[in-house]
C-alpha cells in the first residue's frame, strides 16, 4: 500500500542509520520461526521492536551543566554541555572583577580612585582606553567618571537619596572621561581632575563575559551560554539549534520576547534594575553627565545585540542616556549591532 512503511523497509533504513543491524538479524530469524502466528501479529512485533531501536538511535540532547555563582554584584550563570565550562568562566570573571570593581579595595580601579594615578595591567588599560573612546563617540553621554554622581545619589552605598543642587554642581566638576590621561611609556593612568572617580559598572560585566568566552574557546569549548546579570554571550549552538534568550518585559506586563543567538552578545539597560521613587518620580541608576541627574531620555529599556559583550554593554547604557533618535544613530556606527528601544516612560 502506498505511504505505508513495511516493517522490513523500516529495519533496512535503521540498519543504514546505526550499527544495530546485526542485532536485528537474529530477530528476523525468530520471525521466520513463528509460522504458527498470524502475519499481522508478527508484523506488529516487528514494528514495535523497530520503533524501539529507532528511538534508541535518535541523536541524544546533550546533558547541560548549569552552574551559578554570585559575582560582580549579581548572579552569574554558565550553561554548557562541557562540565569544565563553569569553573573556567568563573575563574576568568573573578580575575576581571578583582581588577575592575570599585568596591574591592585592592582592585586597580579602587587604587586608581584612591591615588589618582596608577600603573595598570593590560586589561585595565584596555578597558579604560576603550571607555575614553566611548566618551567621544557619545559626546560625553557615556562617561565612566560618573562615580561622584553615583555616590551622591546613593547608588554606590544603596542608600538612595536626592542630593542638593550644590552637591550636584560640585560632583559635576569632577566628571569627564576625556580628562583621563594615559602615559603609554610606563602604562600609568592618571585622573586629570581632583576628586575624579571611575565607575565601570556600565561595561565591566560585558567585558568580563568576553574574557570568559575567550578562555572557554582556548580550552576547546565550543558551546556555552554565560549570563552575568543580564549581560549574556551565546557561544556556538546549544546542541543542534541556537541558544534561545528570553528578554524581560521592563514593566512586567505582557509576555517577554525571545531571540535565537549564536556567537553573539546581548545586553539590556533599564530603569527597573536599580531605582527609587520619590514623589511619584522614578530615579534610576544611569546618569546623564550633562545634568548630574538620573537620565530622563524617556527610554525605559534598551536591548542591544552585538558581536561582543563590551560593545553590547556600552551601547545599551549609552543609548539609555542618549534617547531614541541619537541612540539609533550611534548603533549604525557599530557594524553587527542591533537595538530594541522601549519607551517612553509610563506613570509608575
Ligand atoms: P546594569 O549594570 O544594571 O546591567 P548598565 O550596564 O546599563 O546596567 O550599567 C549601569 C551602571 O553604569 C550604573 O550602575 C553605573 O555604575 C554606570 N553608569 C551610570 N551612568 C553612566 C553613564 N552615563 N555612563 C557610563 N556609565 C554609567
Ligand atoms: Mg551597560
- Mean pLDDT score of the chain, rounded to an integer? 85
Alpha carbon distance 241, 214 (integer Å): 22
| Whether the predicted pLDDT of 46 surpasses 80 | no
Q: What is the mean pLDDT of residues 299-311?
A: 96
Q: How confident is the model at residue 33, as a pLDDT?
A: 53
129 and 150 in a single domain? The answer is: yes
86 and 195 in a single domain? The answer is: yes
Which atom of ligand 1 is the closest one to the Cα of 201?
Answer: 16
Which atom of ligand 1 is the closest one to the Cα of 316?
Answer: 7
Establish if 81 belongs to a structural domain: yes
Establish if 131 belongs to a structural domain: yes
Q: How many helices (H) and strands (E) does the chain have?
A: 11, 16
Distance of CA 302 from the midpoint of ligand 1 (Å): 12
Give the containing element (helix H, strand E) for 98. helix 85-100
The residues whose Cβ lies within 5 A of ligand 2, an ion, are: 202, 313, 316-317
Q: Could you tell me the CATH number of the domain that includes residue 277?
A: 3.10.520.10
Q: How confident is the model at residue 41, as a pLDDT?
A: 53
Distance of CA 18 from the midpoint of ligand 1 (Å): 54
Burial of 140 from C-beta contacts in 10 A (0-12 / 13-18 / 19+): middle
Q: How confident is the model at residue 43, as a pLDDT?
A: 55
| Whether the predicted pLDDT of 14 surpasses 50 | no
193 and 53 in a single domain? The answer is: no
Q: Using CA of residue 334, residue 339, residue 344, residue 347, what is the dihedral sign?
A: negative
Q: Which residue has the higher pLDDT, 26 or 245?
A: 245
Q: In the numeric block, which cell numbers belong to residue 238?
A: 546549544
Nearest to 141 by CA among 328, 323, 15: 323
- C-alpha pair distances (Å), 322 with each of 137, 179, 274, 346, 347: 11, 21, 19, 18, 21
**Candidate from 111-125, 191-205, 247-261 with smallest mean pLDDT:** 247-261
* Residue 55: partners with Cβ closer than 8 Å, 6 or more residues away: none
Establish if 143 belongs to a structural domain: yes
Determine if ligand 1 sits within 6 Å of the CB of residue 310: no
* Closest C-alpha to ligand 1, atom 4: 269
* Closest C-alpha to ligand 1, atom 10: 202
Q: How confident is the model at residue 213, as a pLDDT?
A: 98
Percentage of the chain beyond pLDDT 70 is 80
Q: Which of 39, 57, 75 is the last residue of a domain?
A: 57
305 and 337 in a single domain? The answer is: yes
Helix (H, G, I), strand (E, B) or coil at 306: strand
- C-alpha pair distances (Å), 196 with each of 147, 289, 312: 7, 13, 26
Residue 148 region by backbone torsions, left for phi larger than 0, else alpha for psi between -120 and 50, else beta: alpha
What domain count does the chain have? Answer: 2
Percentage of the chain beyond pLDDT 90 is 73
Ligand located closest to 304 CA: 2
Helices 21-32 and 7-17, interaxial angle, to 10°?
160
Encode pLDDT of 223-242 as tens digits.
999 999 999 999 999 988 99
144 and 74 in a single domain? The answer is: yes
Distance of CA 92 from the midpoint of ligand 2 (Å): 19
330 and 213 in a single domain? The answer is: yes
Q: Which domain holds residue 324?
A: 65-342
Q: How confident is the model at residue 271, as a pLDDT?
A: 83
Give the containing element (helix H, strand E) for 294. strand 293-294
| CA angle in degrees (0–180, nearest 5) for 82-87-88 | 80
State the pLDDT confidence band at 246, using cuts at 50, 70 and 90.
Answer: confident
Encode pLDDT of 82-136 as tens digits.
999 999 999 999 999 999 999 999 999 999 999 999 999 999 999 999 999 999 9
Q: Could you count the other beta carbons within 10 Å of the beta carbon of residue 122?
A: 8
Q: Is the pTM of this model over 0.95?
A: no
Establish if 1 belongs to a structural domain: no
| Whether the predicted pLDDT of 55 surpasses 60 | no
Determine if ligand 1 sits within 6 Å of the CB of residue 146: yes
Determine if ligand 1 sits within 6 Å of the CB of residue 271: no
Q: How confident is the model at residue 24, as a pLDDT?
A: 40
Q: Which of 36, 57, 78 is the last residue of a domain?
A: 57
Q: How confident is the model at residue 54, as a pLDDT?
A: 46
Helix (H, G, I), strand (E, B) or coil at 161: coil
| Whether the predicted pLDDT of 34 surpasses 50 | yes
Q: In the numeric block, which cell numbers belong to residue 241?
A: 539549534
Decide: 293 and 321 in contact? Cβ < 8 Å. Answer: no
Determine if ligand 1 sits within 6 Å of the CB of residue 285: yes
Which of 72, 317, 318 is the pocket-test mutation for ligand 1 (most atoms within 8 Å of CB)?
317
Which atom of ligand 1 is the closest one to the Cα of 269?
Answer: 7
125 and 248 in a single domain? The answer is: yes
Amino acid at each position: 500500500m502506498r505511504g505505508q512503511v513495511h516493517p522490513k523497509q523500516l529495519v533496512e533504513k535503521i540498519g543504514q542509520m546505526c550499527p544495530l543491524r546485526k542485532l536485528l538479524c537474529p530477530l528476523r530469524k525468530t520471525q521466520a520461526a513463528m509460522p504458527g502466528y498470524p502475519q499481522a501479529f508478527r508484523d506488529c512485533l516487528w514494528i514495535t521492536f523497530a520503533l524501539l531501536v529507532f528511538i534508541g538511535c535518535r541523536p541524544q540532547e546533550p546533558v547541560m551543566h548549569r552552574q551559578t555563582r554570585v559575582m560582580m554584584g549579581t548572579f552569574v550563570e554558565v550553561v554548557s554541555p562541557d562540565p569544565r565550562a563553569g569553573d573556567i568562566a568563573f575563574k576568568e570573571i573573578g580575575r576581571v572583577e578583582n581588577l575592575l570593581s570599585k568596591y574591592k579595595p585592592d582592585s586597580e580601579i579602587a587604587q586608581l580612585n584612591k591615588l589618582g594615578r596608577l600603573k595598570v595591567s593590560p586589561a585595565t588599560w584596555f578597558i579604560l582606553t576603550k571607555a575614553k573612546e566611548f566618551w567621544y563617540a557619545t559626546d560625553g553621554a557615556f562617561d565612566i567618571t560618573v562615580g561622584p554622581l553615583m555616590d551622591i545619589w546613593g547608588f554606590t552605598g544603596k542608600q538612595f537619596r536626592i542630593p542638593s543642587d550644590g552637591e550636584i554642581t560640585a560632583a559635576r566638576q569632577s566628571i569627564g572621561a576625556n580628562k583621563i590621561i594615559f602615559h603609554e611609556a610606563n602604562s600609568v593612568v592618571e585622573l586629570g581632575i581632583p576628586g575624579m572617580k571611575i565607575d565601570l559598572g556600565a561595561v565591566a560585566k560585558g567585558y568580563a563575559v568576553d574574557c570568559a568566552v575567550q578562555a572557554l574557546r582556548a580550552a576547546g569549548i565550543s558551546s556555552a551560554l554565560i549570563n552575568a546579570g543580564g549581560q549574556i554571550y551565546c557561544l556556538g549552538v546549544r546542541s543542534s539549534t541556537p541558544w534561545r534568550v528570553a528578554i524581560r518585559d521592563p514593566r512586567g506586563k505582557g509576555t517577554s520576547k525571545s531571540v535565537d543567538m549564536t556567537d553573539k552578545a546581548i545586553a539590556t539597560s533599564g530603569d527597573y534594575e536599580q531605582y527609587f521613587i520619590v514623589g511619584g518620580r522614578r530615579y534610576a541608576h544611569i546618569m546623564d553627565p550633562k545634568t548630574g541627574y538620573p537620565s530622563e531620555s524617556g527610554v525605559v529599556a534598551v536591548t542591544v545585540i552585538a558581536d561582543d559583550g563590551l560593545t553590547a554593554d556600552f551601547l545599551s547604557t549609552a543609548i539609555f542616556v542618549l534617547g531614541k533618535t541619537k541612540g539609533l544613530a550611534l548603533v549604525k556606527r557599530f557594524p553587527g549591532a542591533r537595538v530594541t528601544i522601549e519607551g517612553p516612560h509610563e506613570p509608575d
